[in-house]
Amino acid sequence: MPGGGVLAGMSWLDRVLGGGDEEGGRSGRDRRGHGETRVGLFVDGPNVFRGEFEVDLDDVRAAGEEYGRLAVTTLYLDENASSGLVQAAEARGFAVVTTSGDVDVKLAVDATAAAVEDRLDIVVVASRDTDFKPVLEAAAERGLGTVAVAPGEHGRSDALRNAAQDDITLD
């Protein structure tokens, strides 16, 4: 909206969720008609949990929780993932999906389906892979909020970050 107006003073999150309270801030309730803000956290395990990043499962989960209630919390792994990582993820409330092929396809299909089926208000993708840019774009086109979580400063995809309305870099 050129020239400002009511939307100019609102954050992207307020616009996605239908506005803020009378003082211009977020009221903490989703205005889409169902109460809490529903967040889908989709984690690209092979690209996030690499030795060079030292990423913690709790930090990834906390990044998603910054935006609301986690309605979907899924970690995608390939068949070479250690049983210790699977057990740790499940203990922290992640659903773990293990594939024998490329995890990118399964994650992209699941995240896009959740977005178009109106199960989420915000889609959070944790990855360093530019392949997920269309997922964030599709969610944004449907009016959902989008967040890209990078596993570290050197693991950030600028294209993914630029496609998202917000981004987080884990230290």
Query: What's the rounded Cα separation, in Å, for the pair 131 and 117?
Result: 21
Tell me the average pLDDT of the chain.
84
- Which of 51-55, 58-62, 113-117, 137-141 is least confident? 51-55
Query: What's the rounded Cα separation, in Å, for the pair 145 and 31?
Result: 13
What is residue 12's predicted lDDT score, i.e. its pLDDT? 58
What is residue 50's predicted lDDT score, i.e. its pLDDT? 83
Is residue 37's pLDDT more than 90?
Answer: yes
What is residue 15's predicted lDDT score, i.e. its pLDDT? 56
Supply the pTM of this predicted model: 0.82
Structure tokens, 157: 């995809």
Higher pLDDT, 102 or 63: 63
Query: What's the rounded Cα separation, in Å, for the pair 67 and 142?
Result: 18
- 73-87, pLDDT tens digit by residue? 999 999 999 999 999
What is residue 102's predicted lDDT score, i.e. its pLDDT? 86
* Domains identified in the chain and CATH numbers: 1-31 (no CATH), 36-169 (3.40.50.1010)
Of the chain, the percentage scoring pLDDT greater than 90 comes to 66
- Phi, psi at residue 149, to the nearest 5°? -110, 120
